[in-house]
Structure formats: C-alpha cells, structure tokens
Amino acid sequence: MKRLPLAGLTVVSLEQAVAAPFATRQLADLGARVIKIERDTGDFARGYDSRVEGMASYFVWLNRSKESVVLDLKSTAGLDALTTLVSRADIFVQNLAPGAVDRLGLGGEQALALNPRLIHTSISGYGHGGEYEDKKAYDLLIQCEAGLLSVTGTPEAPAKVGISIADISAGMYAYSGILTALLQRSATGLGDVIEVSMLEALGEWMGQPYFYAEFGGTQQPRSGASHATIAPYGPVETSEAPVFFGIQNEREWVRFCSQVLGDDEIARDLRFVDNSSRVANRAALDEEIRRAFSRLRTEEALARLDRAGIANAALRDMQQFSAHPQLAARDRWRDVDSPVGPLRSLIPPSHHASPDSEWMRSPLSVNTPRPFWPSWRRLRRASLDSGGAANDHERSRRLDEENAAQRRRVDVCSKPDHGRRTAARRIRAARGHR
C-alpha cells in the first residue's frame, strides 16, 4: 500500500456531534492518525439513532479511520494525559462549548506555548467575541440565523435542509484551513490558531442570496424544488413521475422548445424571451411545459432531454442512490470494517490520476480490525515518546512502521472502554509502568 499524504501526522481531537468529526475524518482518510477524545459516555452522536446494525448512522459516517480514548478531563490524570498528547501532536481540533478548552488550559495561545508547531483549530457556533459568543448553536439554528430557511422551502412554509449543512460547511472550512496551515508550517516551522464559526461558514455559502437581496431590494422567494431565479429549472411531472431539468442559457432554451416541447413558437413568445421574462411569467411557462410533459413517460422524457443536450435527472431516493450505476461503474464503494461487520461506504470523492496518489483506495483497504482503542502503552510508543516536534521525519517513519503491522484504518470506532482501567492507571501505562 502506498504512503498516504498525511501519514505520520497526529491529530488529537476533542470532538463531538458533526462539525469537528467531519473535519478530522477527512484528515484520517488522507492518512493522519486521529486520536478522538471522548467522555465516559462517549460522543453523543453515538446515540443519535441505531440504524446501522445497532450503531448510529451519524457516527459511522463521521468516525471511520479513527482511534478513540476515554478521558475524564475533570480529573488531574485525564487532563495531564490530554496535555501530553497535545504537546506532541501536529494538529489539535475541538468543538466544545465556548470557553471550555480555555478552562482546560489548552486555548490557542496556551497550546502553542506548549507546542509551537501545533495547528490549533476550534469550531464554534458564532465565533469568539460579540453578543452571540456563548449562545448554543445547532445545525438547524444556524440555518435559521444565516437566512438559509428564508430561501428554502415553499411559499407557504420554510424548510430545513435535509442534511447537517451548517456543520458540514464549518467542518470543510476547518479541514481546508488545517491543510493551509500545514503548508504554511512547512515554510515557517510554526503552527497556527484557526477559528471557524458555523454562522460564518454557512454565511459564505449564502453569498448569492445575500447579493440578490442586498442590491436588488427584495429577497428571492422560496420556490420549493424549483430554482428561485432561473426558469425553467426544477421538476416537471410526466405521466408517471417527476423529472428534473435546468436551462442555463438562451441557446439551450431555443433547443428545449424545438426538440423537447416540439414548438419553436414558445421560444419566440415575448413572455419567455429571456430568463428574467420567464421568471416573471413562471406560471404561464410552467403550464406550457406541463402540457408537453404530461403526455410522456418518464423514460421518454429523459431520453428527449438527453437528445437535446438539456441537463436532467431522475429523482432518486437513498436506496436508488446506493444502486446508482455511475458509482458502480467508477468503483466508488468499499467495505469499512466496524464492530458490527463490514459496512459498504463511499471512498473519498477526489480522484487523483497520479500513480503515487492511490491513497484514495487506501483508507478503505483494511486488515483485521483491532480492539476499539489501543492501550496507553501503544499511545506512548506511537504518539508520546516522539522525541519532540523537531523530529517530525523520524516520527513519521516510526509511525508508518508501527501502524503498518496493525492498521486501524477505516475501523469505525467501536464502543469506548468505560473503565476497565482508572485514568491514573492509564497514565502510568503511558509512562511505561504497570
């Protein structure tokens, strides 16, 4: 197996729920060793549901390739263990409640004083400072505060986006910020402090609706599954089921009228002569399109759109997505080992053509999974007894050798150890004593 791009780097993560685990899973898929710190009851995302053979779908999605350690951070022994891990880590990620990590003595300035090469990354709801700093933030609430619900849904009612989009956006910006900081550290030798706010991350994705409303005087309307500012763009009913398509320019519009609707005159109708006119006369436009499509079967409608070069899609549910022929043709599925057996999962989406970039397959090629979290003796050998941050290359070599024999990659974290050893005994084990 080829060396993964981030092999040899150690990430310590005080993480829970979605945002931080999403960021660190990307790092783990690239080869970083991610040590997930959990409370004695475990990351509460473990209990969100039990749909995956008794495991939570959220937890399975977000935590492959990681190791986990239970620490009581209210105890001196647990805090000492975390501090020691952070002092030897390359990256520290946390999404605890505002101020919690500072009270542990591991805020940005404190942690970099301990480990100047550390990349310290914090994800919060609203960021440091301002009246919202201490306000609790969950995904739906950030969708509300960022205005996303005001443009999502139907004219009658707003709708939440069906995935954790605020958490995912924050996690992706944390991930890209960490990669940027690693490049910067390679030039300067110094770490950095990164802060990502869920509000600001999702706010960046709200740029188009913001500019539309700020400079246009009115907000774009909620329009269900149709595009609010481009027409036609959205669903239309065939005689069997809805199909979706979109027109992006006037050339496509003329071709759509001629080859799909079978009526050139519609393209010349002054009500539909350009996109702004079509949006203003959407009801009349929808009726013209509905009349033509209602006579077609779904397969015939999609074929006609394809022949005309009009982008289109069928509406798939999750089972149909799982069976998508394009994903099968590109060999994008792998089995991920877990405590409940292999779990079919998508591999990372970026595909690299270089022969040296076969890492995209590596996170999903697994050996026999190990017990949930390695002993503290192993953590000492692989993470703590590293000789300091100056020996990065030697540490990378030794980590690669050690991890090759007992690969924990893509082992979805099983249930954490809840106390077969006390925290004090774990620390003694970390220091090489029995």
Residues acting as catalytic residues: 227
Query: How do beta strands 33-38 and 66-70 pair?
Result: parallel
In this structure, which amino acid lies at residue 225?
A
Q: Do residues 302 and 245 touch, judged by C-beta distance below 8 A?
A: no
Name 404's Cβ contacts closer than 8 Å, sequence gap at least 6: none
Q: Do residues 162 and 127 touch, judged by C-beta distance below 8 A?
A: no
Exposed e or buried b per residue across 213-229, where buried means at least 16 C-beta atoms within 10 angstroms of its C-beta: beeeeeebebbeebebe
How many CA within 13 A on the CB side of residue 254? Answer: 4
Name the DSSP class of 115. -
- Map residue 119 onto helix, strand or coil: strand
393 Rama class: left (phi>0) / alpha (psi -120 to 50) / beta = alpha
Closest CA to 178 of 90, 250, 108: 90
Closest CA to 87 of 295, 391, 388, 428: 388
DSSP letters of 200-250? HHHHHHTHHHHHHHHHHSSPPPP-TTS-SSSSSEEEEE-SSSEEEEE--SH
DSSP letters of 17-55? SSHHHHHHHHHHHTT-EEEEEE-TT--GGGGS--TBTTB
The residue count of the chain comes to 434
